[in-house]
């Protein structure tokens, strides 16, 4: 089958009324989640997992994917209008988006963001359609050594985008890996490192960690800062003028390219993509001093990149079976619920599902432009709810989200522990994201490390004798060396301190 | 004299504590050999690596003048924790209505931005919404009223 036959198959699946409806529901939920700070994508998707039991596999994945990329759009709306990034991946958009809004160009910034996202979504969907099968071919050559090296690269890559100290970021990764190892152990019937707590025998609940680190600690930090809502900026016109449009085209294209690339990287995804694209535009711009003061390039590039990165981060999951970030881990969970093992076989054995999901992303991106531009007034209204009303509601969603995963009060207490720890950690300059990624990849790395040494009889040779693994390891080392370079350190600090 | 206790030394101590708890949790888990790793192999390696990084952070904090320990505000942290714990402690037996009300009331003490005369309305609205959406609508297996 060639690409077009595949895409046609995808559209025939995605255009059924049920799938269109759930695609719409997904992007609507996603926009809502993106607009409201304090309710994360991960928590929302996890909460809806039980609801997907009764849906067809393709339908449930289409809906969940919609939440994910919908949140990218919603997050940028609040970033531009009230200087509050609803999602971490829109942090880079705040700088110039809000500055544009203050100059009375809020409508233009929103349109640039939406169009750049749509463009990126379209291109990256095509890229997945063309590149997916190639990746799946490569994936068939992957043994445990390659998987281990790939995940190591992903973890090291995640350090690059963690703000603050590199040493602290690595410490967080390691802590995450350790947390991931708690609980079930393939070799023995006795759960390990649980201090005898029965609730931990299945491992630490992922949602409890995510909600604690991202949900609860964010509420605490917001309250501490006496978060006062900035009044949303009034909007005059939605259309960017010729100058703004001209300035946005190049950054949108480069953002799409960089975002697609960084999204594929394990440990990558929309967050890395948006920061990378912003830094790149600032670097190559002849007038970098305009950045931060309402440069349309600073909106177009990260918005294109985060959407492209969100789409292409499905590639490692669907072709290698390796989730590259927390959200992909939830997607992997959803696939497992439906009895589909994520990996290279998905494309062959579940072709309608794979291509249907890809086609739905394209449709969903169109829905989002329609949802976001004409209805932006509605989202702004939602933002006028004062935080003193909003935070108990967000806290409620955190509680019910964690509790409903397995009706366990223990998980709620666990979330409290992670919330407090997360608050103290953020105050001390630690980042939660490396921890979460370590948590997801840790157990898989252990498994592949074990298998490699078991097959080689205790020799490390497979890691450096197999070309793919060697390449991945060289990339990992190169990245570490790069981070040690003083020049890179400075660039990274300026790029990240921009938040 | 340089401050011995600063943000970095405290961070280092925190990471060292994490590694220590890790080693405690591992206890005497079987290590195994490189070609047949036991459940304690990678866990131990990771715990020792955590300790090493904790030591590095601590030493770097001792070596130079570092920013002081940031001021923590315990009121929001405490109130939000208590509110969440109250939710967990009541939802199983007292049901979603009481759990949500308890949570909202306690959360109201987290910050001076709260207007306490609004709390009853907010609690009632959240509790009603919670019961309707999650128990009636999404059919989660949670009781509405005490059982």
Strands (E), chain B: 32-33, 36-37
B35 touches chain A (CB under 8 A): yes
Residue A51 DSSP code: G
pLDDT of residue A233: 61
Predicted confidence (pLDDT) per residue in A5-19, tens digit: 888 888 898 889 999
Which residues of chain A are within 8 Å of residue B13 when distances are taken between CB atoms? none
Question: Which neighbouring-strand residues pair with A185?
Answer: A188
- Please list, in sequence order, all residues whose beta carbon lies within 8 angstroms of the beta carbon of residue A407, skipping any fewer than 6 positions away: B92, B140, B141, B142
Nearest Cα residue to A100 out of A248, A281, A258:
A248
CB pairs under 8 A between A and B: 184
Q: Supply the ipTM of this predicted assembly.
A: 0.94
Residue A150: HSE in the Cβ half-sphere, 13 Å Cα cutoff: 23
The total of other beta-carbon atoms located within 10 Å of residue A433's CB is: 24
Predicted confidence (pLDDT) per residue in A171-210, tens digit: 999 999 999 999 887 777 788 888 888 888 888 887 788 7
Select the residue from B44, B46, B91, B119 to test the A interface by mutation, using most A Cβ atoms within 10 A.
Answer: B46
Question: In the predicted model, what is the mean pLDDT of residues B96-113?
Answer: 93
List the 37-96 stretch of B: residues with Cβ below 8 A of A.
37-40, 42-43, 46-47, 49-50, 53-54, 56-57, 60, 70, 72-73, 76-77, 80-81, 83-85, 87-89, 91-92, 96
For the four alpha carbons of B46, A480, A424 and B84, in that order, the dihedral sign comes to: negative
Question: Which neighbouring-strand residues pair with A311?
Answer: none
B109 touches chain A (CB under 8 A): no
| Burial of B35 per CB tally in 10 Å (0-12, 13-18, 19+) | middle
Min Cα–Cα distance to chain A from B32, Å = 11
Better pLDDT: A202 or B94: B94
Predicted confidence (pLDDT) per residue in A406-463, tens digit: 888 999 999 999 999 999 998 998 888 788 778 878 888 998 999 999 998 888 889 9
Cα separation values, A24 from A11, A19, A76, A96, A202, Å: 15, 8, 19, 30, 34
Give the integer Cα–Cα distance in Å for A180 and A182: 6
Q: Please say if the pLDDT value at position A380 is more than 90.
A: no
Cβ A233 vs Cβ A282: under 8 Å: no
- Please list, in sequence order, all residues whose beta carbon lies within 8 angstroms of the beta carbon of residue A381, skipping any fewer than 6 positions away: none
Min Cα–Cα distance to chain A from B17, Å = 11
Q: Do A192 and B85 touch (CB under 8 A)?
A: no
pLDDT of residue B1: 44
Give the integer Cα–Cα distance in Å for A184 and A202: 6
Which residues of chain B are within 8 Å of residue A399 when distances are taken between CB atoms? 84, 87-88, 91, 99, 103
Cβ A67 vs Cβ A26: under 8 Å: yes
- Please list, in sequence order, all residues whose beta carbon lies within 8 angstroms of the beta carbon of residue A317, skipping any fewer than 6 positions away: A323, A324, A328, A331, A332, A342
Residue A239, SS3? coil
Cα separation values, A221 from A91, A392, A436, B73, B110, Å: 17, 14, 19, 9, 11
**Average pLDDT value for chain B:** 89
Q: Do A174 and B50 touch (CB under 8 A)?
A: yes
Q: Please say if the pLDDT value at position A342 is more than 70.
A: yes
What is the chain B residue with the closest CA to A227? B113
Cα separation values, B71 from A165, A418, A455, B103, Å: 20, 19, 52, 26
pLDDT of residue A43: 67
Better pLDDT: B87 or B135: B87
pLDDT of residue B112: 85
B144 touches chain A (CB under 8 A): no
Who among B38, B50, B83 is closest to A395 (CB)? Answer: B83
Give the integer Cα–Cα distance in Å for A293 and A267: 30
Residue A191, SS3? strand
Select the residue from B12, B13, B27, B42 to test the A interface by mutation, using most A Cβ atoms within 10 A.
Answer: B42
pLDDT of residue B49: 96
Give the integer Cα–Cα distance in Å for A419 and A23: 32
Give the integer Cα–Cα distance in Å for B110 and A226: 10
Q: Which of A39-53, A366-380, A385-399 has the highest mean pLDDT?
A: A385-399
Cβ A443 vs Cβ A181: under 8 Å: yes
Which residues of chain B are within 8 Å of residue A148 when distances are taken between CB atoms? none
H or E, element range at A79: helix A57-82
Select the residue from B36, B67, B84 to test the A interface by mutation, using most A Cβ atoms within 10 A.
Answer: B84
pLDDT of residue A481: 85
Predicted confidence (pLDDT) per residue in A83-142, tens digit: 777 667 777 888 888 888 888 888 888 889 989 999 999 999 888 888 888 887 888 888
Judged by average pLDDT, the poorest of A249-253, A354-358, B66-70 is B66-70
Predicted confidence (pLDDT) per residue in A470-491, tens digit: 998 998 898 888 877 766 666 6
Cβ A307 vs Cβ A117: under 8 Å: yes
Question: Tokens 């909460």 correspond to what residue?
Answer: A47
Cβ A38 vs Cβ A218: under 8 Å: yes
Question: In the predicted model, what is the mean pLDDT of residues B1-16?
Answer: 84
């Amino acid at each position: 089958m060639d690409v077009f036959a595949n895409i046609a198959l995808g559209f025939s699946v995605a255009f059924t009324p049920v799938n269109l409806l759930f695609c719409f529901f997904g992007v609507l939920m996603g926009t809502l989640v993106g607009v409201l700070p304090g309710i994360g994508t991960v928590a929302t998707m996890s909460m809806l997992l039980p609801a997907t039991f009764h849906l067809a596999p393709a339908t449930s994945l289409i809906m969940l994917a919609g939440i994910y990329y919908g949140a990218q759009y919603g997050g940028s709306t609040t970033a531009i209008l009230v200087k509050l990034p609803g999602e971490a991946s829109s942090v880079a958009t705040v700088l110039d988006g809000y500055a544009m809004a203050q100059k009375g160009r809020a409508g233009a910034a929103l349109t640039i963001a939406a169009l750049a996202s749509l463009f990126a979504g379209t291109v990256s969907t095509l890229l997945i359609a063309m590149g997916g099968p190639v990746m799946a071919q490569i994936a068939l050559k992957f043994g445990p050594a390659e998987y281990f090296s790939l995940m190591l690269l992903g973890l090291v890559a995640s350090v690059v985008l963690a703000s603050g100290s590199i040493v602290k970021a690595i410490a967080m990764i390691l802590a995450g890996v350790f947390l991931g190892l708690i609980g079930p152990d393939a070799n023995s019937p006795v759960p390990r490192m649980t201090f005898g707590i029965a609730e931990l025998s299945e491992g630490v609940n992922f949602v409890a960690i995510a909600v604690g680190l991202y949900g609860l600690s964010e509420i605490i930090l917001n309250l501490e800062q006496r978060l006062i809502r900035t009044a949303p900026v009034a909007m005059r016109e939605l259309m960017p003028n010729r100058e703004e449009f001209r300035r946005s085209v190049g950054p949108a294209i480069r953002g799409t390219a960089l975002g697609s690339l960084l999204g594929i990287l394990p440990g990558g995804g929309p967050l890395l993509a948006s920061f990378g694209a912003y830094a790149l535009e600032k670097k190559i711009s002849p007038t970098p001093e305009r950045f931060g003061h309402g440069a349309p390039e600073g909106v177009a590039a990260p918005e294109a990149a985060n959407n492209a990165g969100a789409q292409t981060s499905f590639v490692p999951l669907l072709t290698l079976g390796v989730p590259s970030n927390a959200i992909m881990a939830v997607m992997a969970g959803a696939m497992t619920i439906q009895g589909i093992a994520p990996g290279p076989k998905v494309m062959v054995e579940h072709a309608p599902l794979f291509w249907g999901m890809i086609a739905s992303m394209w449709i969903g991106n169109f829905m989002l432009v329609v949802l976001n531009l004409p209805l932006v007034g509605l989202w702004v209204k939602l933002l006028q709810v004062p935080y003193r009303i909003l935070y108990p509601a967000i806290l409620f969603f955190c509680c019910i989200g964690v509790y409903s995963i397995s009706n366990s009060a223990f998980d709620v207490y666990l979330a409290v522990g992670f919330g407090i720890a997360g608050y103290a950690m953020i105050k001390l300059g630690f980042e939660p994201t490396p921890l979460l990624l370590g948590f997801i990849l840790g157990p898989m790395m252990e498994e592949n490390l074990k298998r490699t040494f078991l097959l080689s009889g205790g020799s490390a040779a497979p890691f450096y004798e197999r070309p793919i693994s060697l390449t991945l390891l060289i990339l990992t080392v190169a990245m570490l060396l790069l981070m040690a370079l003083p020049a890179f350190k400075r660039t990274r600090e300026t790029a990240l301190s921009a938040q | 004299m340089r401050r011995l206790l600063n943000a970095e030394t405290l961070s280092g101590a925190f990471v060292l504590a994490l590694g220590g708890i890790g080693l405690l949790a591992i206890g005497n888990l079987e290590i195994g050999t490189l070609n047949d790793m036991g459940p304690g192999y990678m866990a131990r390696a990771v715990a020792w690596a955590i300790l090493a990084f904790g030591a590095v952070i601590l030493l770097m904090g001792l070596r130079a003048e570092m920013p002081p320990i940031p001021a923590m505000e315990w009121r929001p942290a405490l109130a939000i924790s208590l509110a969440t714990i109250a939710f967990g402690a009541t939802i199983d037996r007292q049901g979603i209505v009481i759990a949500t009300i308890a949570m909202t009331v306690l959360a109201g003490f987290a910050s001076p931005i709260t207007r306490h005369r609004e709390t009853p309305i907010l609690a009632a609205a959240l509790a009603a919404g919670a019961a309707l959406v999650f128990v009636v609508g999404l059919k989660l297996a949670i009781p509405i009223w005490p059982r």
